[in-house]
Amino acid sequence: MRKEINYNDYAEELITQLTKGGVFLTVKDQEKANIMTIGWGTFGWIWNKPILMVMVRYSRHTYGLLENAGEFTVSVPLKQNRTKELLICGQQSGREIDKFQTCGFTPEKGQAVTTPVIKECPLHFECRVVYQQAMEPGQLSKEFRAKWYKTPDYHVLYYGEIVAAYLTE
């Protein structure tokens, strides 16, 4: 059962979960979907649309997928304990393992996009990429650059228009 929510009703829970272990970003190619844990992102209103911005480093399998897919979903564990799955999806690569299988997760058909969401999570956002931009390293504060980018493995910022937001039971 899906229960539609206003895109903004769970902004605080989403941001809190980013800071406490992360949320699941799902992106697919023509064959199957892959999950990556993200701990950084922003949420808001741009171009008169609800926008969820996610960041992916060049080195990630998800980067190649997302460049082609043009859409993604975000599934949020909320109060569930998903420490193990968040670690698997953060530290391992979809180039080597099937993360849905390894985590025991079920891909559930998206509502407005063709990318699945994770059935076992209670909160979902479906997004289509409307803007993207690779980071310009020289524009970041020196302190953050030194701390987070010791190699040139920068992030690409993907701005997704939220085309569906809902809770599942």
Smallest distance, a copy of itself to C-beta of residue 109, A:
24
Is residue 7 classed exposed, middle or buried when 0-12, 13-18 and 19+ CB atoms within 10 A define those classes?
buried
Q: What's the one-letter identity of residue 164?
A: A
For a copy of itself, the closer CB: 16 or 80: 16
Which residues lie below 8 Å from residue 16, measured CB to CB, with a gap of 6+?
none
For a copy of itself, the closer CB: 54 or 103: 54
Smallest distance, a copy of itself to C-beta of residue 34, A:
22
Smallest distance, a copy of itself to C-beta of residue 24, A:
16
Smallest distance, a copy of itself to C-beta of residue 135, A:
8
Which residues lie below 8 Å from residue 35, measured CB to CB, with a gap of 6+?
24, 25, 26, 89, 94, 99, 100, 103, 105, 118
Summarize as ranges the residues that interact with a copy of itself (CB under 8 A). Answer: 8-9, 11-12, 15-16, 18-19, 39-48, 51, 53, 55, 130-133, 135-136, 139-141, 144, 147-148
Region of 97 on the Ramachandran plot (φ > 0 left; ψ -120 to 50 alpha; else beta): beta
For a copy of itself, the closer CB: 106 or 134: 134
For a copy of itself, the closer CB: 53 or 103: 53
Beta strand pairing call for 123-134 and 155-168: antiparallel
